[in-house]
Structures are given as structure tokens and as C-alpha cells.
A = this chain, B = another copy of it.
Amino acid sequence: MTTSPRETTLLDQVLEAYCGTSDPRWNVIAAALIRHLHEFVDEVKLTPQEWMTAIQFLTDTGKQCVGPRQEFILLSDVLGVSSAVDDISNSASGGVTESALLGPFYAEGSVPVERGADIALDGEGERLVVQGRVLDRRGMPIPGAQLDIWHTAANQLYAVQDPRQPAMNCRGKLLADADGHFEFRTRKPVAYPVPTDGPVGQLLSKSGREPMRPAHIHFIISAPGYQPVTTQVFTHDDAYIDADAVFGVKPSLLAKYHRNTDRALNCDWVLRYDFVLDEERATQ
């Protein structure tokens, strides 16, 4: 693990110093990380002043991580890195529902609700009915599949962010029927900004980027014998659908909201979306 002073290149020295451990995965990751770091610095001919700006940015980002606020995850999100990692580990094919980020506002412990229940407890916003089925790859229903659901209230905040909301506002756990059908009532989700009062907000501002996420509903769909999927269903005509601050939108996750014409349904909007789960892999 010794290095020769500059007889080899600096990069070779650093690679040699970190990538000869007994952990092959570590060696691969360290080598790629070090190579890309040094190539970046060399390509742009980073100046000491720019380097110091980067050091200060990373330091500020670390200091912004207090309590539930995780500015490094937010940084990863707005640079598309979180979505890239998600894509790698969750490549769906054959019609299986694609994944999207879990996001920072998921909370365990949502309460079970009955079919058709209204999960919007604060009564704010446009009334929405969501209907769909949970299916397998052959189009057969998955009875009893569980949907863990959460989205923002009309004030752009999730219940876990906002002590003024009922704790279970706009969230709940629902089971699909024997024929795979599910239905719940809520309020139409709205676009909202990621936190902008920290270093990531400055980064977005410097880049001329909006901090907005297009409106979406989060789902975790699971059923015994199937691979669970964590995903987000987006409002297809949201103003920010082409400029999601965290690059979470995929065409297959766009859903069209229909103006309700059925008086009996007693709502403003209807959303229909089916989820498709893949069988659990034999070797786990």
C-alpha cells in the first residue's frame, strides 16, 4: 500500500493507495470514484478558489442535515443521482410498474382504510377518486395486494411536515379486492417546492432551475410472492412535468386525471391507474 512520490502520476498513486484491499467491491467503487474525481478536476482545470467554493458548499450541506432534514439526499435528488441509483436497482420490464424514489416524506405506520374511504382528512382541495387494479405480468389480479399511499395536502405539505394537518392526512394503507380492484377518495395532489433555504436551494437558483416537483401520489405496492414496487404516479398535465426538480418522472408513470361526469361518484376528478407487479425472484 505504498506510493512512489510522483514517479507515477498522482492518480496512479491514489488508486494504488486505496484499491488493494481484501474487499473486491470496495476496490471497484474506490477506483471508479477516485478516477472520476481526478478526471473531473483535471478536465475543468479546477482553480483553488473553485475548489474552496466546493469545500464550503459540501460543508454547508452537511451542516444543513439536522433532524429530519437531509440536505445530502436532496442534493443527490436534484442532481439526478438518486433516480440513477433507483433505475439501476429497479429496472422494470414487460409492463411491470416502474419505480420512482421513496422520497423524504414517507412515514411508516399509515393506518389501514376501507375500500372507497376518503384519506384527505382536512377537506382542502379538489375532490378526487382513484381507482385501479393490481395485476401480475399476465394481467391476472393480485387479490389482497397492499397499497401504501401518501401525497401532499392542498397546502403543498405532507402531513409529516406539517403539525397543523391531522397526522393521517392524505395517507393510508388499502388492500385490493379479490379481483385486484382498489378505490379510495382523496384530494387532487398539487405541485410543491423542495426546500430552498439551504445550499441546494442556492444551487438550483444559480442554475436557473425551479425547485418544483410536479404533483404526484406516492405508492408502495406489495403482495406475498411478488416484488414490491415503490413508485409515484404523476399528474400528466402538471406545469412542472417536464422540469421535475428531482428527475423522478417517467412516461409510464404519467396518469391522466379525468373531470368527473358521474354524479353518483360525487367528486371533481377521477384517476384510473393499474399497477403490475413482478413475481418474486426464486433466488434471493
Could you tell me which A residues sit within 8 Å of B by CB distance?
1-7, 10-11, 13-14, 17-18, 20-21, 23, 26, 28-30, 32-34, 36-48, 50-51, 55, 58-63, 65, 70, 72-73, 76, 79-89, 206-210, 241-244, 247, 249-251, 254
Complex interface: chain B residues within 8 A of A18 (CB): 207, 209
Contact A28 B44 (CB under 8 A): yes
Tell me the minimal C-beta distance from A94 to chain B in angstroms: 17
Interface pairs (18), CB distance under 8 Å? A1-B207, A1-B208, A5-B242, A5-B249, A5-B250, A11-B80, A13-B80, A17-B247, A32-B43, A36-B40, A41-B84, A45-B88, A46-B85, A55-B73, A59-B62, A59-B70, A60-B62, A63-B63
Nearest-neighbor residue (CB-CB) of A242 within chain B: B2
Asked whether A84 and B17 contact (CB < 8 A) given A5-B241, A58-B72, A209-B1, the answer is no
Nearest-neighbor residue (CB-CB) of A17 within chain B: B209
Asked whether A80 and B10 contact (CB < 8 A) given A17-B243, A89-B48, A207-B21, the answer is yes
Complex interface: chain B residues within 8 A of A2 (CB): 242-243
Tell me the minimal C-beta distance from A249 to chain B in angstroms: 4
How many monomers of this chain does the complex have? 2
Complex interface: chain B residues within 8 A of A62 (CB): 58-63, 65, 72
Complex Cα spacing A73 to B37, Å: 14
Complex Cα spacing A42 to B206, Å: 27
Besides the contacts A37-B79, A51-B76, what 13 more A-B pairs have beta carbons closer than 8 Å?
A1-B208, A1-B243, A4-B242, A10-B80, A20-B208, A21-B206, A23-B206, A32-B43, A36-B37, A38-B80, A42-B84, A48-B86, A62-B63
Complex Cα spacing A250 to B207, Å: 39
Complex interface: chain B residues within 8 A of A210 (CB): 1
Asked whether A207 and B30 contact (CB < 8 A) given A38-B81, A58-B58, A244-B3, the answer is yes
Tell me the minimal C-beta distance from A34 to chain B in angstroms: 6
Contact A85 B33 (CB under 8 A): no
Contact A50 B29 (CB under 8 A): yes
Q: Tell which of A20, A47, A85 has the most Cβ of chain B within 10 Å.
A: A85
Nearest-neighbor residue (CB-CB) of A252 within chain B: B6
Complex Cα spacing A33 to B203, Å: 13
Tell me the minimal C-beta distance from A137 to chain B in angstroms: 21
Nearest-neighbor residue (CB-CB) of A249 within chain B: B5
Nearest-neighbor residue (CB-CB) of A207 within chain B: B18
Contact A41 B81 (CB under 8 A): yes
Asked whether A3 and B247 contact (CB < 8 A) given A47-B89, A85-B41, the answer is yes
